[in-house]
Amino acid sequence: MFKILIVDDSATARKLIKKSIEICGLTDGQFLEASNGNQALEILHQQMVDLVFTDLNMPEMDGTSLLKRIKASPKLNHLPVVVITSLKNQAAEKLLIAEHAFAVLAKPLKLPEVHQVLQQVMKSAWQEELL
């Protein structure tokens, strides 16, 4: 079973992200939720997760800081992190990719983009299992 952590300070946004993932075919996944980066890190240090979807703008710890903390951790740096933002522009996207974001998606989410990201993550996970 695939385990996904959804990080957003809006409960409605978390539900929409989860629903988008399910519509794209990942119906047997387990979903964990956090409302900021601090809560997300607590979850990540307690449980193994396969994928993180995070918003950028959140209180306490934003998505950029969360991404940097995940990628700096030897225990967590393998995790694919998908950043979701309403502030999407090419410069910001380049910075996030440079920080090792797996993908950057604009709000509102577009199902074909979510589907493509999920396929890429699954393909990467499947290839790692073969190694």
3-class DSSP assignment, residue 90: helix
The pair of structure tokens assigned to 125 is: 């996970």
Q: Which residues are registered as beta bridge partners of 6?
A: 33, 53
| Bridge pairing between strands 51-55 and 81-85 | parallel
* 126 compared with 67, residue with greater pLDDT: 67
Looking at residue 126, what is its pLDDT? 59
Q: What is the pLDDT of residues 13-55, one digit of tens each?
A: 999 999 999 999 888 889 999 999 999 999 999 999 999 999 9
Q: Where are the domains of the chain?
A: 3-130
Per-residue CA distances from 44 to 60, 87, 106, 123 (Å) = 17, 26, 24, 22
Averaged confidence pLDDT in the chain = 92
pTM: 0.92
The pair of three-digit structure tokens given for residue 114, joined into one six-digit string: 């979510």
Contact 125, 51 (CB under 8 A): no
pLDDT at 42: 98
DSSP state of 85: E
Task: Give the E-state strand segments of 8-85 in sequence order.
Answer: 30-34, 51-55, 81-85
CATH class of 3-130: alpha beta
